Amino acid sequence: MKKYKNILITGGTGSFGKNCAYYLLNKYKTINKLVLFSRDELKQSELKKKFSKYKWFNKLRFFIGDVRDYKRLEIAFKDIDLVIHSAALKQVDTAEYNPYEFIQTNILGAQNVVYASTYNKVKKVIALSTDKASSPINLYGATKLCSDKLFISSNNFFGKRQFVVVRYGNVAGSRGSVLPLFIDQAKKNEFTVTDPKMTRFNISLERGIKTVEWTVNNCLGGEIVVPKIKSYKILDVINSFSNKPKIKTIGIRFGEKIHEEMISIHDSKNTYKIGDYYVILPHGDKKILNFYRSKTKSKKVESNFSYTSDGNKEFMTISEIKKTVNEIVKKII
């Protein structure tokens, strides 16, 4: 990470973007410039005030723009060494009624990031993805799968290894997470669930940021990185609030899975485990395959392996869920 002096984060004023900037600027004194690229001028103004007290504030740059606008990206990426692409439209149900908007941002926006990065000779690009991109059944997941394919295939198309994808599950307490809803419903001890059998992956924002950091430091280009994280059962989350909760099952929403998946059985033939991560290698790339076999302490997964929230070997305990909820409540207050 230290070799990247000029960094840009798309979606820079979102929960990931601003926290990633804070983490990197505190840890790496070698950073010369960190650009927060986003389309929200109000969030940029608020973030300027919040970050102005820190010594590294003069290293921050705020750039208003949209990933849909290629020319704006081309200007923003000038002299940038590392791009972390976190800008996306993410709401599953909203995507079903606004498909064109999601395609414009999540697919064509990703294509613009690829082109602008290549034009400006950016050394490395880390694109954030989601568990919904694995065997997608909704439009949001489909757009993110297309985005993943664009980034991975571009390593071959442009003949340079610079694009890597990071895929992880629900960020606790983030936009779209069920935890803030349950925190509100706990006031009346009345909870709604779409399906009581539901499970989900869970990752903290801090772990997500450190996964990106690990990816920057360890990956060649062309990989999809998946962190090993815990799952939770939706009923355990409710039981963490109350011993005798009133639960109403409202039925599964369109495009929603009962269990999430981060690595499909079809990807197992190209998947290796290394430390706290799984790495899906690009199909047919002998050079990168030889690197992982000879230069890393990685081990190939079983041929029938899949990484799903219900088949996960590690689940959060109710006490762990309570701790996570308490941390979210503090942030809300």
- Domains: count for the chain: 1
Task: Examine residue 49 and state whether it is found in any structural domain, yes or no.
Answer: yes
DSSP code, position 197? T
Q: Name 72's Cβ contacts closer than 8 Å, sequence gap at least 6.
A: 65, 66
What CATH number has the domain bearing residue 42? 3.40.50.720
Q: Is 121 a catalytic residue?
A: no
The alpha helices in the chain, defined as continuous H runs, are 15-27, 41-51, 70-76, 92-97, 99-102, 109-119, 139-157, 179-185, 205-218, 234-239, 286-295, 318-332
Question: Which residue in the list 132, 144, 233, 257 is annotated as catalytic?
Answer: 132
Task: Examine residue 277 and state whether it is found in any structural domain, yes or no.
Answer: yes
Residue 246: enclosing H or E segment and its boundaries?
Answer: strand 246-249
Rounded (5°) CA angle 326-332-333: 90
* 159: phi then psi, degrees, rounded to nearest 5: 70, 25
Q: How many residues does the chain have?
A: 333
Task: Examine residue 328 and state whether it is found in any structural domain, yes or no.
Answer: no
**Structural domain for 46, as ranges:** 6-169+203-228+261-312
Q: Which of 62, 72, 54 is nearest to 38 (CA)?
A: 62
In tens digits, what is the pLDDT along the chain, a chain of 333 residues? 889 999 999 999 999 999 999 999 999 999 999 999 999 999 999 999 999 999 999 999 999 999 999 999 999 999 999 999 999 999 999 999 999 999 999 999 999 999 999 999 999 999 999 999 999 999 999 999 999 999 999 998 877 789 999 999 888 777 667 888 899 999 999 999 999 999 999 999 999 999 999 999 999 999 999 999 999 999 999 999 999 999 999 999 888 999 999 999 999 999 999 999 999 999 888 889 999 999 899 999 998 999 999 999 999 999 999 998 888 766 644
Amino acid at 168: Y
The pair of three-digit structure tokens given for residue 100, joined into one six-digit string: 């064109």
Task: Examine residue 138 and state whether it is found in any structural domain, yes or no.
Answer: yes
Task: Examine residue 238 and state whether it is found in any structural domain, yes or no.
Answer: no
Task: Examine residue 72 and state whether it is found in any structural domain, yes or no.
Answer: yes
